[in-house]
Structure 1
Amino acid sequence: MTERVALITGVSRRIGIGAAVARRFAAAGYRLQLSGLPGYDDAQPYGGDPDGVPALLAELTACTGDPDRVRYQAVDLGLPDAPAELVAAAVRGHGRLDVVVAVHAYSTRTPLGGLDAAEIDRHLVVNVRATLLLAEAFAAAFRADSGGRLVLFSSGQRLGPMPGELAYAASKAGVENLTRQLSPLLMPRGITVNCVNPGPTDTGYLAAPDRDVVARLFPGGEWGRPDDAARLVEWLCSPDGGWISGQVIDSEGGFNRYV
């Protein structure tokens, strides 16, 4: 089997970045191992997408023409064995693994004065520990001598404060640092490592008037779209992206958080 195989985490809502990356990869001919935790989104203020996973799988299957090319597994990445199990499932189901795109994230409100130790730990476990274990499992399973890609996701916390999400900001700073730590370790094995900060992206988590307030901080007056991030990920995972590694890429459409 020589077709490229990608594992994408954080896939549950059709409007999400993970789903947009999956669409791009399916159209490009990848075999896909997808994972997510729909129950997490269901519990968030913005709500989940009850038909999201079945509808997305049907869409991707129609694109690929083969249901065996797209597999899905609901996984809680807070469990210590979950990252390795996901990588093993990808190799078992598709015969190899070439690309990992870690879109998953855990985020709840954690302001100063309202911090909870268990909630801080949950952010660090899902966003940092699971990402590091995922990278280790991927490196152990990768069998080619080049063409491997690990793409992580940040949120631009390095560019400005996030006072209501202190635990999330701290954990995503850890993800950015992992990018720089892992790149010199994995590039000799044929795997590039990069991190994408997509900026505010319209995945339905804000409603008007808050959504309109944020839109005015973009010079073009519009939010980023999930496919904006997906296009960048697709390029990083292509042969043309092979010279880029160890970078945190701010793809924010000119977003000005200081207006």
Structure 2
Amino acid sequence: MTSTSTALRGRTALVTGATSGIGKAIALNLARQGAEVVLHGRDQARGAALVKEIAAEGGAARFVTADLTDAEDTLRLAAEAGAVDILVSNAGLYEFAPTAATDAASFDRHIAVNTRAPFLLVGALAPGMTKRGGGAIVLVGSSAARQPAPVGAAYGASKAGAEILTRYWATEYGPCGIRVNTVSPGPVHTEGTQAMFGEHIAVLDTTNARGRAGDPAEIAEIVSFLAGPASSYVNGAVLFADGGERSALPA
């Protein structure tokens, strides 16, 4: 069960890709711990529904839509989010295809959403965190950044870029009181993975030492830990949350 506390009361968090899967679980968990959550997504109806769900639990949230493949729209999201204490860069694009079947447009989309969007958001929001005395930035990475497979090279490269940015930002902003960390999930049961694997979804439960894929709520707990005061001495870390991964997914 997702925990409830007041550890993040008085804090404002922006969560990208917040209307489904891991992002939705993160948003709900942060709200339950007292944060006011700025929800980002592309679907107005799902965003409105999540705002209502959070409000029904006694939390506070608002929704901002933005297209993270567009640099200007990404910067608009940062501006509309306002004074943010916690940034959770969760939104991700994954098109698992072999290299020869990945065209330039697909490669550029991966970089735009998975690498450039967090770069622009951090650049826009970290100065405000610095002026207010600090903050927390959490990126949601992927085991694809370190666990090669026969498909998905563009996705893996874009996530590996985000991981190295984590270390750079931890060095750049650490003296300003901003901690930057990444949680790197292995396979997780979400709407996206269900759509991708369909009737073969059970393959996700065969890839790690736990013998099962993760649940979004499990990743959300780690994000809340990295965003909150309990992790005050954690900076520049990439925390693996993969159940003890032992093999790449089959092609």
Normalised TM-score (structure 1): 0.85
SS of the aligned residue for 2:37 comes to strand
Q: 1:57: which partner in 2?
A: 51
Q: 2:162: which partner in 1?
A: 175
Deviation of 1:162 after TM superposition, in Å, equals 2.8
Decide which of 185, 200, 204 is 1:198's aligned counterpart.
Answer: 185
SS of the aligned residue for 2:222 comes to helix
- Change in CA separation of 1:108 and 1:250 when aligned onto 2, cut-off 3 Å: same
Decide which of 228, 234, 245 is 1:255's aligned counterpart.
Answer: 245
* Cα separation, 1, equivalents of 2:24 and 2:204: 23
Decide which of 22, 28, 31 is 2:36's aligned counterpart.
Answer: 31
Q: Contact 1:61/1:70 (CA < 8 Å) preserved in 2?
A: yes
Q: 2:65: which partner in 1?
A: 74
Decide which of 20, 31, 34 is 2:25's aligned counterpart.
Answer: 20
Deviation string 1:59-78 (CA, Å, 9 cap, x unpaired) is 1011125xxx3110111011
The residue type equivalent to 2:65 in the other structure is A
The alignment status of 1:113 with 2:96, answered yes or no, reads no
Q: 2:80: which partner in 1?
A: 89
- Change in CA separation of 1:235 and 1:160 when aligned onto 2, cut-off 3 Å: same
More helix by share: 2
Deviation string 1:129-177 (CA, Å, 9 cap, x unpaired) is 111111111112223223x100011111243213221111111110011
Q: Contact 1:11/1:37 (CA < 8 Å) preserved in 2?
A: no
SS of the aligned residue for 2:101 comes to coil
* Cα separation, 2, equivalents of 1:52 and 1:80: 23
Q: Contact 1:153/1:195 (CA < 8 Å) preserved in 2?
A: yes
Q: Contact 1:29/1:64 (CA < 8 Å) preserved in 2?
A: no
* Cα separation, 1, equivalents of 2:29 and 2:204: 27
SS of the aligned residue for 1:201 comes to coil
Q: Contact 2:17/2:91 (CA < 8 Å) preserved in 1?
A: yes
Structure 2 regions of 5+ residues with no counterpart? 1-8
Seq. identity, %: 34
- Aligned ranges 1:89-238 → 2 under 5 Å: 89-91=80-82, 96-142=83-129, 143-146=131-134, 148-204=135-191, 205-206=193-194, 207=197, 209-238=199-228
Structure 1 regions of 5+ residues with no counterpart? 39-49
Q: Contact 2:99/2:154 (CA < 8 Å) preserved in 1?
A: no
Deviation of 1:51 after TM superposition, in Å, equals 5.6
Equivalenced residues, count: 237
RMSD: 1.9
Deviation of 1:110 after TM superposition, in Å, equals 3.1
Point out the more displaced range, 4-13 or 103-112. 103-112
The residue type equivalent to 1:172 in the other structure is K
